[in-house]
Amino acid sequence: MKKKSPRAVCLEILNRTEETDRLPDKLLTDSFKKYRHFSSLDRAFLTELTYGVFRRRQTLDWILSRFSKVSLEKIESTILNILRMGLYQILFLTRTPVSAAVNESVEMAKPIRGKGGAGFVNGILRSVVRQKDEIVFPKMEEDPALHISIGESYPLWLVQRWIEEAGVEEALKLSIANNQIAPLTLRTNTLKADRGHLIGRLIEKGLKPRPTAYSEEGVILDDSPPVSELPFLREGDYVIQDEASQMVTLILDPKPGERILDACAGPGGKTTHIAQRMANKGEILAVDVTRDKLRLIEESCQPLGVKIVKTVKGDASRPLPAPENLTFDRILADVPCSGFGTLRRNPDLKWRKGEEDIRRLSLIQASILSNLSQYLKKGGTLVYSTCTIFREENEDVVKAFLKSHPEFVLDDLLKTLPTISHRFVQNGYFKTFPQGNGMDGFFVAQLRKS
């Protein structure tokens, strides 16, 4: 049987992502396990090509629409993905010979649509090669939103929202930052090791670790290998977690001996972080709506040595399956959100999520916050967090909650956060953005029951 090439596997992933709810990172991981004949260069090429097409899809489609006599809506999805892959290689992968990009694309089209399909792909890609220096993009001074949408590759509605909330200059910075490859960030498991020890072990393995600037437990790996090749990951000395995500637990500020509710806990990164900040002393009730996510939490606790987590299946927007009158010292509501703060890691999100998702999720977030408030002790802390940057899912949800729950107040984050992190506090909220600090986009509000 002929071994599949990285390009063929990339096409499989692009097609399956469109046809199913499977995420590209999961499909890539599965591919690395399935196609073990791939070299490290093959895996790197496959990863770059897959994520690159997702990152630059708007730009690629805009160019293809100018060279194709057939509207893109009428092109078979597999052929369109072949064209996107070929065009991405021509425009963005300078080390890939143009002839290889075109020829391999043509060969992939033959089994799909025969000679006619191959000729169609060949004609478009070769026309782009001949005329790529003549392509003219929308101008910033004429239409800023369209310029950013096409030039940086985002849905127009998304750019328009960014401009509305932050202005043209910040929208451009954000769009550029979100097209950068996010660094791999680790969180030291302080139940087993300290950060200095972990950095030393990683250096011994030939890696390039450095401490994060704001999380005292974080480590950034420059030029990191694929996750599947990380050393001693299963030993439990660390987990993979973005620095902004680590800051959420710092704001929650859990103490040893407390009873904590992690209400939307899957897949468990913050749950285990809470446990290590509690020195494995106390109780954590981890609630999630799916058994699969609860299983992930349980599996992640074992190698880390976390022993104080109890998992329970439940919907955080409804009464919890817990003993009557049970209350908690602190509650984390890391609510389901649109995830637009994580586009560096999940570029497919901008094609899978739309404005209707933001509106739908904001209603769910409001119901979760309202429901959880009844389980908090007087004087307790309720932390609301998202990995998105839209007011509709962030400030608007919190303000509406405070208006309908006068027993709660917005707590002073400056008292909780170290001085170095005060720069992220805006109008009482903790907010990070990919541009400027290199972290994912996160929003956190700390609420106290007075």
429: left (phi over 0), alpha (psi -120 to 50) or beta: beta
Q: How far is CA 384 from CA 262, 336, 393, 441, 448, in A?
A: 11, 11, 11, 14, 11
387 flagged as catalytic:
yes
Query: β-strands 283-288, 309-313: how paired?
Result: parallel
Q: Report the distance separating Cα 154 and Cα 348, nearest Å.
A: 10
Structure tokens given for 315? 């919907």
Structure tokens given for 181? 């490859």
Given 10, 264, 337, 387, the catalytic residue:
387
Structure tokens given for 425? 């506090």
Q: Report the distance separating Cα 77 and Cα 272, nearest Å.
A: 41
Contact assessment for residue 390 and residue 340, using Cβ atoms and an 8 Å cutoff: yes
- Compute the radius of gyration of the chain from its Cα atoms: 24
Q: How far is CA 25 from CA 21, 47, 273, in A?
A: 12, 9, 23
- b (16+ CB within 10 A) / e for 107-124: ebbeeebeeebbebbbeb
- Positions annotated as catalytic residues are 387
